[in-house]
Structure 1
Amino acid sequence: MTRILSNFAEISANYNLALVDLWGCVHNGQAIYRAAEAALQGFRKAGGCVVLVTNSPRPTIGVQAQLDGMGLARDAYDGIATSGDAAQAGMLMGAVGRRVWHLGPEKDDGFFTSLPDWAKDQPPIERVPFDEAEGIVCTGLFDETTEAPEDYRGRFLSAKARELKLLCANPDIIVDYGDTRVYCAGALAQLYDQMGGESFYFGKPHPPIYDLARRVATATGLKFSEERTIAIGDGIATDVKGGMGEGVDTLFITGGLAAAEFGTDVESPDPALLYKWIAQQAIQPTFSIGRLR
Structure 2
Amino acid sequence: MAAWTLNPAAQGSAMRPGRIDAPFLDRYRRAMMDFPPGLSALSDRYDVVLSDVWGVIHNGVASFPEACEALTKWAQTKGPVVLISNSPRPSHDVVAQLDALGVPRSAWQGFVTSGDATRALLKANAPGKVWKIGPARDEVLYEGIDLVAAGCEDAGFISCTGLYEDEVEVPEDYRDRLKVAAERGLLFICANPDRVVQRGDRLIYCAGALADLYESLGGKVVMAGKPFGQIYDLAVAEAARLLGRPVDRARILCVGDGVITDVKGAHDQKLACLFVAKGIHGDKAVGPDGQLVPDAVHALLDAEAVGATHAIGDLVW
Aligning the two structures, in what range does the TM-score lie when normalised by the shorter sequence? Answer: over 0.9
Alpha carbons of 1:67 and 1:265: their partners in 2 closer, same or farther (altered >3 Å)? Answer: farther
The superposition leaves residues 147-174 of structure 1 with CA deviations (integer Å, 9 ceiling, x where unpaired) of: 1111111001110111111100000000
Q: Where does residue 15 of structure 1 map in the other structure?
A: 46
TM-score norm. by structure 1 comes to 0.92
Alpha carbons of 1:98 and 1:182: their partners in 2 closer, same or farther (altered >3 Å)? Answer: same
Q: Where does residue 62 of structure 2 map in the other structure?
A: 31
Q: Where does residue 268 of structure 2 map in the other structure?
A: 245
Structure 2 CA distance, aligned partners of 1:109 and 1:133? 17
* Structure 1 residue 264, shift from structure 2 partner: 5.4
Q: Where does residue 247 of structure 2 map in the other structure?
A: 224
Contact 1:141 1:147 (C-alpha < 8 Å) held by counterparts: yes
Listed as ranges, the gaps of 5+ residues in structure 1 are: none
Contact 2:91 2:111 (C-alpha < 8 Å) held by counterparts: yes
Structure 2 CA distance, aligned partners of 1:130 and 1:237? 28
Q: 2:137 aligns with which of 89, 107, 111?
A: 107
The superposition leaves residues 22-75 of structure 1 with CA deviations (integer Å, 9 ceiling, x where unpaired) of: 000011111111111111111111231111000010111121111111121111
Contact 1:24 1:176 (C-alpha < 8 Å) held by counterparts: yes
The superposition leaves residues 111-164 of structure 1 with CA deviations (integer Å, 9 ceiling, x where unpaired) of: 112x5xxx6xxxx12222333310110000111111111111100111011111
Question: Which amino acid counterpart does residue 74 of structure 2 have in structure 1?
Answer: F
The superposition leaves residues 195-224 of structure 1 with CA deviations (integer Å, 9 ceiling, x where unpaired) of: 110011010000111111112212221421
Is residue 2:58 matched to residue 1:58? no
% identical equivalent positions:
37
Structure 1 CA distance, aligned partners of 2:274 and 2:282? 15
Alpha carbons of 1:20 and 1:149: their partners in 2 closer, same or farther (altered >3 Å)? Answer: same
Q: Where does residue 268 of structure 1 map in the other structure?
A: 291
Q: 2:104 aligns with which of 73, 78, 84?
A: 73
- RMSD (Å), alpha carbons: 1.7
The superposition leaves residues 238-280 of structure 1 with CA deviations (integer Å, 9 ceiling, x where unpaired) of: 1011011111110000111112311356963122322344334
Q: Which moved more, 1:253-262 or 1:229-238?
A: 253-262
Moved over 6 A (4+): none
Question: Which amino acid counterpart does residue 157 of structure 1 have in structure 2?
Answer: K
Q: Where does residue 222 of structure 2 map in the other structure?
A: 200
Alpha carbons of 1:58 and 1:275: their partners in 2 closer, same or farther (altered >3 Å)? Answer: same
Q: Where does residue 167 of structure 2 map in the other structure?
A: 145
Number of aligned pairs? 284
